[in-house]
C-alpha cells in the first residue's frame, strides 16, 4: 500500500472531532517562552502526509513542511519505524566511540555526492559554522593567509549564530548584535563582475580571500535561483585562485530541487557544502561535507555533543533511502512543474498583484508586484484562513515548500485554496 493511500485511509480518523476540551493556552505559552518568533494564532498538534490539524480540529494543507524540513511529510511509516527501532536499540552515546549509524549515513552521503568526508552536528547554522572554521583553517595551514576573508552574497541567509548572521548578507538579522565576527565581505548575488571586483579590491593578488560562501538558490532572501553561468564562472575562479567554494544547501539539499543536491542544477561541484533541514525529515541533524583536499580538521578542532548520535543518524538513513527507493526526485520534478504552472496562471489572472513565479522543484516563490497593495505576510494570513499553510520569503515573496511526498491532488487543492485566499484580498 502506498503512502498516499495510507494517508487517504487515515485522514477521516485523524480529522474526527476531539472529545476532550481544548488544552492549549496561548497566554500561558507566551508567559513561559521567549518571544523570538512572530507566531501565527494557531497551535498544530497532529499531521499525516501533507496535512496537519490544529488544537481546534481544523485541517490545513501544509506547504511549509517545517520550512522545507519534513521531507517525507508527517507520520510517514518509514520514519515511524526508524524512530521506534532506533530508540529501542540505542539513542545516544559520545563521539568518543565509533557510532555505526553515523558511519553508514556518512558513507551514503559521500557515495551519492561529490564529498569524501562528513561531520555531523544539529542544525544548519552549526553546519555553516563548521564550514567557516574549516575554510579558515585551510586558509591558514594550506595557503598561509593570516586574516582570511569569506565572501558571501547580499540577501543570503546562513543561520542565527554570531558568525552565521555575520555571513548573512541581510542587515536586519544583524541589528543590535554588534560587534559582529570579522572576516566577511558581501557582493550582489549572480553578479560575476561584482565578485571579481570585490576580490581584486580585497587584495591585489587575491591571497586574502579564503572562500566564497553561496546558496545555490537563496531561500530566505526571496527564492532566488542561482544562475548556471554565474556559478560555473565562480567555480572556475576558485580553481584558478585556490579559493574554496562553499555551498549552503541547508534549504535546497536532499531532493528539494528535484535533484539530490542543489549544485547539480548548476553543473558544478563545491569543495564544501552544508546540509540540515530535510536530511532528518524533521529530526534535528546537520552535516558538513567536504572533498578530501580540504579535510584539514584534526582531533580537537571541532566537535558536537549530540552531533551524529545513533538516533538522528538512524532516522536520516531511513529518510535518504526512502527518497531514492520511492523515486521521490521524479515526484518533486513533476509536482513542482504543476505547482509553478498553477502559480503562473494565478499571476496572469492577477497581473497587478503578482509579477512572477520562480524556483526549482518544490521550492517556489510567488512574487508580488511592486504596485501590490498587500505584502507577503498578508497573503500568508489569508491562505491560512483558507486552510493552506505557506511562508514568507521576505516582504514580497510567498514561499511554497511542501513535503516531497506531495501528490498531484494536494497541489491542485493548494492552488484552489490559494485562489480563494487571494479573492479575499482584492
Q: Give catalytic residues, as residue numbers.
A: 157, 248, 277
User: Under a CB-based contact definition with an 8 Å cutoff, are residues 148 and 136 in contact?
Assistant: yes
Cell of 27: 497566554
Strand-strand pairing, 391-392 and 397-400: antiparallel
Which residues, other chains included, contact 154 with Cβ-Cβ below 8 Å and sequence gap of 6+?
169, 170, 186, 187, 188, 189
Report CA 185 to chain centroid distance, whole Å.
23
Burial class of residue 25 in the structure, from the number of CB atoms within 10 Å of its CB (0-12 exposed, 13-18 middle, 19+ buried): exposed
Amino acid at each position: 500500500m502506498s503512502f498516499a493511500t495510507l494517508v487517504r485511509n487515515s485522514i477521516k480518523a485523524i480529522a474526527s472531532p476531539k472529545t476532550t476540551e481544548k488544552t492549549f493556552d496561548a497566554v500561558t505559552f507566551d508567559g513561559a517562552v521567549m518571544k523570538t518568533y512572530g507566531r501565527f494564532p494557531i497551535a498544530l498538534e497532529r499531521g499525516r502526509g501533507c496535512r496537519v490539524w490544529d488544537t481546534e480540529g481544523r485541517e490545513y494543507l501544509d506547504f511549509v513542511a517545517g520550512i522545507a524540513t519534513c521531507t517525507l511529510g508527517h507520520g510517514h511509516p518509514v520514519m515511524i519505524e526508524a524512530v521506534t527501532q532506533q530508540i529501542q536499540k540505542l539513542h545516544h552515546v559520545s563521539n568518543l566511540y565509533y557510532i555505526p549509524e553515523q558511519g553508514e549515513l556518512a558513507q551514503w552521503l559521500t557515495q551519492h555526492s561529490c564529498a569524501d568526508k562528513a561531520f555531523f552536528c544539529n542544525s544548519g547554522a552549526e553546519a555553516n559554522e563548521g564550514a567557516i572554521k574549516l575554510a579558515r583553517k585551510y586558509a591558514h595551514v594550506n595557503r598561509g593567509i593570516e586574516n582570511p576573508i569569506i565572501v558571501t552574497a547580499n540577501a543570503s541567509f546562513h543561520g542565527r549564530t554570531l558568525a552565521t548572521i555575520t555571513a548573512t548578507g541581510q542587515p536586519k538579522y544583524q541589528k543590535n548584535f554588534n560587534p559582529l565576527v570579522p572576516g566577511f565581505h558581501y557582493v550582489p548575488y549572480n553578479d560575476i563582475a561584482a565578485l571579481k571586483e570585490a576580490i581584486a579590491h580585497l587584495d591585489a593578488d587575491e591571497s586574502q580571500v579564503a572562500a566564497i560562501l553561496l546558496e545555490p538558490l537563496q531561500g530566505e532572501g526571496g527564492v532566488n535561483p542561482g544562475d548556471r553561468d554565474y556559478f560555473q564562472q565562480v567555480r572556475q575562479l576558485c580553481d584558478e585562485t585556490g579559493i574554496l567554494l562553499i555551498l549552503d544547501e541547508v534549504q535546497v539539499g536532499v531532493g528539494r530541487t528535484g535533484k539530490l543536491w542543489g549544485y547539480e542544477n548548476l553543473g558544478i561541484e563545491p569543495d564544501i557544502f552544508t546540509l540540515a533541514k530535510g536530511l532528518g525529515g524533521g529530526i534535528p541533524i546537520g552535516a558538513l561535507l567536504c572533498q578530501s583536499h580540504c579535510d584539514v580538521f584534526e582531533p580537537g578542532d571541532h566537535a558536537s555533543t549530540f552531533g551524529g548520535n545513533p538516533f538522528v543518524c538512524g532516522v536520516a538513513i531511513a529518510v535518504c533511502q526512502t527518497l531514492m527507493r520511492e523515486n521521490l526526485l521524479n515526484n518533486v520534478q513533476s509536482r513542482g512543474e504543476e505547482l509553478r504552472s498553477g502559480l503562473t496562471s494565478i499571476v496572469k489572472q492577477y497581473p497587478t498583484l503578482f509579477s512572477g513565479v520562480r524556483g526549482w522543484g518544490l521550492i517556489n516563490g510567488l512574487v508580488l508586484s511592486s504596485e501590490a497593495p498587500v505584502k507577503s505576510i498578508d497573503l500568508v494570513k489569508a491562505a491560512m484562513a483558507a486552510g493552506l499553510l505557506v511562508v514568507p520569503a521576505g516582504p514580497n515573496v510567498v514561499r511554497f515548500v511542501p513535503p516531497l511526498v506531495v501528490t498531484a491532488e494536494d497541489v491542485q487543492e493548494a492552488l484552489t485554496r490559494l485562489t480563494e485566499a487571494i479573492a479575499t484580498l482584492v
